Amino acid sequence: MAELTYRDAVAAGIAQEMRRDPNVVFLGEDVAHAGGVFKATVGLLEEFGPLRVRDCPISEQAILGAAMGAAMTGLKPIAEIMFSDFLAVCWDIIANEMAKMRYMTNGQVTMPVVIRTANGAGSRFGAQHSQSLENWAMTVPGLKVVAPAYPADVKGLLAASVRDGNPVVFFEQKSLYSMKGEVPDGEHYEPLGKAKVLRSGGDCTIVALAAMVHKAMDAAEVLKREHGIDATVIDLRSLVPLDTQTILTEVARTGHLITVEENPRLCGWGAEISSIVTEECFWDLDGPIIRITTPHIPLPAADALEDATIPSVARIVETVRTRLD
């Protein structure tokens, strides 16, 4: 095991797949010589050279158009969109072209493209550079959606994404880039669609994604220590495919479901999970499902306002305590 930062795990995951398969290529804005604006791709150009690691113009449409064409000719491109907010610029290519190509060709053309992007708040970048957009991708048939919370999962889930024959939107929470964690040496692979139960308790089930996983874990410790509430915490890791079996099993066992979502509340991923749980195990619930979310507003840049907007440990603790006491 090596201790790596989240950003170093990105580079390790890309390098692992490029060493394994010569058809894997990497392209994006400032990803080669500069090592990425978040320094998550340092060293890749030096190891793999300019034919496989390519800097692109400031054009999201050009980056993904090139990636799609490369995938159609047998390559396996990893394409970086610097901020997830900029997916709006190239959304037609993702939602109308990449996501539908395999279906519309009856499987004759696969689309093994990984779209890596820095997502979420916590860095004070304001309304146009801080959004959590997993919900956008989740609504499009044909896309897979991944959002790791830990460095080891960055490497392992990136491997699974590269090896998948479908387009995968890989959301990296930018406030996590500096966090450290143990990452397995050598080849590491984590299958898509498998959630992890990080903490097991009998009083409620908290489901979270990406940065919210860490807040949910901290809140669970406070709830146990100060209020005697023992919570299960599930890290979803991917939204498509979604591990409904793990969610339903844990909710049926504890009787309570709380989702912690960085996304805006309206049409959030927690609403879909709430719907599934209501349909599949309604009679196992001992109370209403609770969704702790960001309000349906543009994100502010001011420190105090951003902190007040995004779910916090204190808000999770108070919400769960109030409902369960």
How far is Cα 12 from Cα 27, in angstroms, rounded to an integer?
A: 16
- State how far the Cα of 242 lies from the Cα of 76, in Å rounded to an integer: 24
Element (H, E) at 240: strand 238-240
Phi-psi region of 43 (alpha: psi -120 to 50; beta: other; left: phi over 0): left
d(C-alpha 202, C-alpha 223), whole Å: 12
Q: Is 129 a catalytic residue?
A: yes
Which is nearest to 154 in space by CA: 215, 78, 222? Answer: 78
Measured between alpha carbons, how far is 152 from 268 in angstroms, rounded to an integer?
26
Contact yes or no for 261/269 (Cβ under 8 A): yes
**SS3 of 83, please?**
strand
Residue of 174, 254, 186, 262 whose CA lies nearest to 220: 254
Q: Rounded to whole angstroms, how far apart are CA atoms 84 and 213?
A: 19
Q: How far apart are CA 298 and CA 281, in angstroms?
A: 34
Q: For residue 27, give the H/E element and its range.
A: strand 24-28
* Catalytic-labelled residue, pool 129, 188, 214, 256: 129
The pair of three-digit structure tokens given for residue 50, joined into one six-digit string: 């300019």
The answer to whether the CB of 245 falls within 8 A of the CB of 275 is: no
CA distance 66 to 322: 52
Amino acid at 270: G
* Catalytic residue annotation: 129
